Structure 1
Amino acid sequence: MKKILLLGITLLSFFGYTQTIALQSFATGFSSPVEIAHAGDSRLFVVQKGGLIRILNSNGTINATPFLNLSSLISSGGERGLLGLAFHPNYATNGFFFVNYTNTAGNTVIARYSVNSGNPNIANTTGTILMTINQPYTNHNGGSIKFGSDGFLYIGMGDGGSGGDPQGYSQNLSLTNSNVVSNPSRIYLGKMLRIDVNTTAPGLNYGFPSTNPYVNEAGKQEIWAIGLRNPWKFSFNRLNGDLWIADVGQNAFEELNRIQSPLPNTGINFGWKCYEGNETYNTTGCAAASTMTFPFYQYPFYSNGTCSITGGYVYTGSSYPNLQNKYVFGDYCDNRIRVIDNNGVLVTSAVFSGNDFASFGEDHLGELYAAGLSSGTIFKIVDTSLANSDFEKSGFSLFPNPSKESFTIKSSDENLATKIDLFDLTGKLLLTKKLENNPENTIATTLLSKGMYLVTLETKNGTSYTTKLIIE
């Protein structure tokens, strides 16, 4: 059963205005959710680190039967597990989807599966392995896989683990490197890979995009960018194709990278381990700094409890205009949500304790969700900017907000409200009432469920003003 819980917090920007974000509890009962994806329809697919993919319906119910169970194929201790899911752009016609998991030997596997032809809520249990990448340590597995607007599958690979990239995998492009010779697939560590899942190269179950920067160099044709430490979540802006990568730092900075579309094909170097964020880490043998791509934004490690950035999405939905074109992300350790605009202006929430945000998700309409690893809860991200500027500037106020049993509308003597309409977020009219000819009117809410609503006032000259109301 869908449960509504609104946790209101205020976000303060550097320009002095306020935004408010809330988390609406959408569904509970998941075990270590680490990814949320959609297949082009209203369902959400929630990836559990232990190996299950479960379907979360638009009404908040969870299908009893998992979409896919890979628990027998994976190792899930520490940072290992079933970590990534991406549906083919033509999933509606070909039924293909792709997963990223660490197998029982601890190595990264990229595999293709397909939906059951007779039941859209069940996947076929036999898959095709595309890539297996040897992992030298148990951490820094990356995990995200996403399709870009170019139709290619992008794969974010961590540097192999331990600390400080001791074998220098992130900057290494040499197959003759002593750490790579016996395990050639380690050339992919610390890289962003890009493959073509619609073609096949000789001996492989995938092909190479002809525009990949190393496509003519055997053994590294898949590499699109280098210099990543542990890209724990990346995403594409579904409207303009921009790529956002959250790269977990070593012990000084967490970094956020933004690559604007059209994406370059010249071989990006994000700098690790030469640089951690904008700061020098170990530049021995490194290329010139001018050849590196430095972060769009960074913040200090262990600043107010931070320790591990969790990448999110640019909000492209229609419900919350104040969030449009802003990137929403978090930090695994401090249970806060962050919103940053295209100018690098950041706002940071108060703490949503007990969640450990391990993933964010986007539905087919561009609305956003957050997954609490510890709580097992999927939250819908809500902008509770309670009053638009016209509402306040025109002399109206609504209080208390949030409300429990009633709320009061106050208007100025010069601009009296004559009627109130109350809608739910789907646009359904729930209440309409003519108002008394005085500056204050109180409306009972005891018959309304907890949640968020839209309140529209009409004045005697026919002008309308809208604001938002939370009922607890």
Structure 2
Amino acid sequence: PQKAGWLYQLYKPATPKWMIEAEKAGKKVTPAVVDATRPAGDWNHLFLRVGPDRSQVIMNGVKYFQFDKGSADWNKRVAASKFSKYPSFGKPTKGHICLQDHNDLVSFRNIKIREIPADGSVQDPSDGELALKGVPAFPNLEWEGWEPVNEETGKVVPLRPMAITHANDGSGRIFVTTQRGMIQIIDKKSPEKTKLFLDLRDKVAPWKKNNEEGLLGLAFHPDYKQNGQFFVYYSAEGTPRKSKVSRFTVSKDDPNKADPNSETTIMEIDQPYGNHNGGCIVFGPDGYLYIGLGDGGSGNDPLGNGQNLETLLGSILRIDVDKKSDGKNYAIPADNPFVDRANAKPEIYAYGLRNVWRLSFDPKTKTLYAGDVGQDLWEEVNIIKKGGNYGWSVREGTHNFGNRPETAKEKPIAPIWEYDHGVGRSITGGIVYRGQRLPELDGLYVYADYVSGKIWALEYDAESDEVVKKLRLDASTVPVMSFGTDEDGELYYTVQTVKGGEGIFRFEKK
């Protein structure tokens, strides 16, 4: 694109707020993320999202501007334009989109114009809908240690269940973490009130609306029935920001209580910002612990972590928690993909990820799925392969992002599925269903969007490496935080709520 003249005003970059704040804090930022224009000879993707109330200008995946029509900023810009003398200028009326260049030959390709309904909605890309609905799994449940209103301040305290899983110990119990720092037990035989298994609220950084910190992950050791070990991932209270992976053990006297003094820190990860902390941890069929991380946060991957193998951030890690090596409370599996690469972190299993939310293995095929939260345009479902590069931050989904050159040895792997921000804006990775109660879900990967509340199911064919079916499920009216299963493989999902009995849902036939 031209880089002068009045047309350039449309996509001329301005220093974003996050970068100004980062520079004030003395943080190193990568200048290339400000001007995302690619050099002459390369294709540039200028994305204009024009809605009834809001418009966005996005260059090569990097958001330059967002305008709320009728706002003070919008009116100021309209008034300052030389075209303001025209009554219809800057008004949300019908008009033409003009693509042009001055004095030079210019080519445009892949121009797509999609008309949307009057209400601004975008049709889900799906092959139909399953006749299933979400219902509260434990409608009368009370949560030990949680009240919906703080008695001292009078403020509402939402319940945010972040992970739901089981110990695979034959007890049938369900374990749920809350973002604020509690691990609760639900006994399916008498699900009237939870039992507080472990309270980490004095160790966990408090969740706030502008960050993504808290108690984010829980995984039970494959031999939990024998050794009583389980692992958590949480944002540690205090500064500087750190995420911790720790091991705890169950109490010797009470199977429904963890020993709060048994913590062993397995790993600490420096976090430059309060978002993109990842946090999902799962044990693989190989017995190793897999840890999903984000790129460190802020926006546009300002520190360039996504494609940098010298940092743990922007990656999925794989470690052996049953051994120790090099003075650490874990060991590196000998077959990890980057153990022999100079300067690369040997813990890394896969990289090029923006914010992994969440990870899960298909119990039958052992395939590792990951939802990766996008920035301004695309959300991803990925099949994670050893040594794989998933593109961020030179790609978002299958699309180029910014103007950083692709320098990694590994060619980026495309997601098996992506959806744009007209459909949803923050993926909640899910679970491949292998239970018995809902045969219509067998083998399907069930996932959701945190912002829109929409829930879908994908059928992935490993032989062709393609999604062969996409189905809608009943949408949630509130954010879907996470998916999980009980010992029988039956599926649950968690949502934010102020009603204790409406924090965990399951599917039933309509």
Unaligned runs of 5+ in 2: 1-122, 144-158, 461-466
Cα distance in 2, alignment partners of residues 331 and 88 from structure 1: 29
Alignment of structure 1 residues 82-93 onto 2, 5 Å: 82-93=215-226
1:364, distance to aligned residue in structure 2 (A): 1.1
Runs of 4+ aligned residues of structure 1 deviating over 6 Å after TM superposition are none
Cα distance in 2, alignment partners of residues 156 and 113 from structure 1: 20
SS in 1 for 2:334: coil
Label 1:330 to 1:218 Cα distance change in 2 as closer, same or farther (>3 A): same
Q: Summarize deviations over 1:363-387 as a string: whole Å, max 9, x none.
A: 1111100101235534443251x6x
Judge conservation of contact 1:76–1:82 (CA < 8 Å) in 2. Answer: no
Label 1:115 to 1:90 Cα distance change in 2 as closer, same or farther (>3 A): same
Are 1:330 and 2:448 counterparts?
Answer: yes
Question: Which residue does 2:25 correspond to in 1?
Answer: none
Judge conservation of contact 2:388–2:410 (CA < 8 Å) in 1. Answer: no
Judge conservation of contact 2:134–2:474 (CA < 8 Å) in 1. Answer: no
Question: Which residue does 1:20 correspond to in 2?
Answer: 131
1:344, distance to aligned residue in structure 2 (A): 3.9
Question: Which residue does 2:23 correspond to in 1?
Answer: none
SS in 2 for 1:313: strand
RMSD: 2.1
Judge conservation of contact 1:196–1:207 (CA < 8 Å) in 2. Answer: yes
Are 1:251 and 2:251 counterparts?
Answer: no
Provide TM-score, normalisation by structure 1. 0.71
Question: Which residue does 2:305 correspond to in 1?
Answer: 169
Q: Summarize deviations over 1:272-294 as a string: whole Å, max 9, x none.
A: 00100000002523237971111
1:297, distance to aligned residue in structure 2 (A): 0.2
Question: Which residue does 2:486 correspond to in 1?
Answer: 363
Question: Which residue does 2:417 correspond to in 1?
Answer: 297
Judge conservation of contact 2:142–2:194 (CA < 8 Å) in 1. Answer: no
Are 1:237 and 2:367 counterparts?
Answer: no
Alignment of structure 1 residues 33-52 onto 2, 5 Å: 33-40=161-168, 41=170, 42-52=172-182
Label 1:142 to 1:290 Cα distance change in 2 as closer, same or farther (>3 A): closer
Which letter maps to 1:131? M
Structure scoring higher RCO (CA < 8 A, sep ≥ 6) equals: 2
Q: How many residues align?
A: 354
SS in 1 for 2:131: strand
1:348, distance to aligned residue in structure 2 (A): 2.3
Are 1:213 and 2:333 counterparts?
Answer: no
Question: Which residue does 1:143 correspond to in 2?
Answer: 279
Label 1:202 to 1:365 Cα distance change in 2 as closer, same or farther (>3 A): same
Structure with a larger share of its residues in strand:
1
Q: Summarize deviations over 1:95-136 as a string: whole Å, max 9, x none.
A: 100000000133100000001122111000020001111100
Judge conservation of contact 1:23–1:379 (CA < 8 Å) in 2. Answer: no
Label 1:359 to 1:116 Cα distance change in 2 as closer, same or farther (>3 A): same
Cα distance in 2, alignment partners of residues 382 and 138 from structure 1: 33
Which of 352, 373, 377 does residue 227 from structure 1 map onto? 352
Which of 464, 475, 482 does residue 351 from structure 1 map onto? 475
Judge conservation of contact 2:309–2:343 (CA < 8 Å) in 1. Answer: no
1:60, distance to aligned residue in structure 2 (A): 5.5
Question: Which residue does 1:318 correspond to in 2?
Answer: 436
Which letter maps to 1:328? V
Judge conservation of contact 2:127–2:470 (CA < 8 Å) in 1. Answer: no
1:147, distance to aligned residue in structure 2 (A): 0.4
SS in 2 for 1:254: strand
Identity of aligned residues (%): 38
Are 1:271 and 2:407 counterparts?
Answer: no
86-95 vs 36-45, which deviates more?
Answer: 36-45
Unaligned runs of 5+ in 1: 1-10, 175-186, 387-472
Cα distance in 2, alignment partners of residues 287 and 379 from structure 1: 44
Question: Which residue does 2:98 correspond to in 1?
Answer: none
